[in-house]
Amino acid sequence: MTSTFRYGANIHANGIRQHYLRYGGQEGERASRDAVIIVPGITSPAITWGFIGERFGQQFDTYVLDVRGRGLSSASDTLDYSLDAQAQDVIAFAEALGLDRYAVVGHSMGGRIGIRAARTQPRSLTRLVIVDPPVSGPGRRAYPSKLPWYVDSMRLAREGCSAGQMRDFCPTWTDDQLRLRAEWLHTCNERAVIESFEGFHSDDIHQDLPSLALPTMLMVASRGDVLLPADIAEFNALVPHLAVSRVENAGHMIPWDNEEGFYAAFGDFLGARL
């Protein structure tokens, strides 16, 4: 199959360098469809979502973003890693690229970023897909993953590790997936990850949900423990127009567990089937 990868690039937006990978372009039927910005999770540089970008690129002009402090985007000991800053990054990124209409697909932390960005109702943001987002927050149950899992694996990656050593942290992943994570995890800034993890418990995304006026989909992993039935019911109550999709045979890292099920779960929500 012909690759849809176009190029990787950097752009200055919201005061920082934002790195991204572009797939698809605007030729053919893609020109009539909204662009898609994919926002990965807490320790997922853009390159680890490359196989997903390839598929999206068949139907959409697609941009996979390195969230600040990850991959090749700006990172430093003084950078603001708050949810508000991350959300403004996405809006500024789209504006800097001149995207007139775009959808955001955010996984895990990326879903929370998408919610916070959509709360301000940016003119060009047309649709939002929230994929298995952490629902922790003030007065709520803790996020089920533990911080040492992230810190220990990042430290190992910084020292240099093999795919086999990374398997202790991701036992169900394929060799190719493990090799890519072992190669790129060291680009995740430890302070960025710790502050984002702490933000899972201090930021209240539920207060943002009633402000979501755009078409919104919540995608849920059937085997995950991030979203429970009561959480889905609360989302439905706070976002009455919410579409809910469920991916069978998948844990939190949905496209790693059931890639085809992940694509199918979008249906035609984004304007074309994947």
Identify the pLDDT of residue 3.
97
- How far apart, in whole angstroms, are the C-alpha atoms of residue 97 and residue 177? 30
Q: Contacts from 154-159 at CB under 8 Å and sequence distance 24+?
A: 154/43, 154/185, 154/186, 154/188, 154/190, 154/193, 155/190, 157/181, 157/182, 157/184, 157/185, 157/186, 158/186
Helix (H/G/I), strand (E/B), else coil: 9: strand
The answer to whether residue 224 scores a pLDDT higher than 90 is no
The CATH number of domain 5-265, selected from 3.50.50.60, 3.40.120.10, 3.40.50.1820, 3.40.50.150: 3.40.50.1820
Write down the pTM of the prediction. Answer: 0.98
Identify the pLDDT of residue 133.
98
The answer to whether residue 1 scores a pLDDT higher than 80 is no
Identify the pLDDT of residue 159.
97
Q: What is the DSSP letter of 99?
A: -
What are the pLDDT digits (tens) for 242-263?
999 999 999 999 999 999 999 9
Identify the pLDDT of residue 61.
98
What are the pLDDT digits (tens) for 197-216?
999 999 999 999 999 999 99
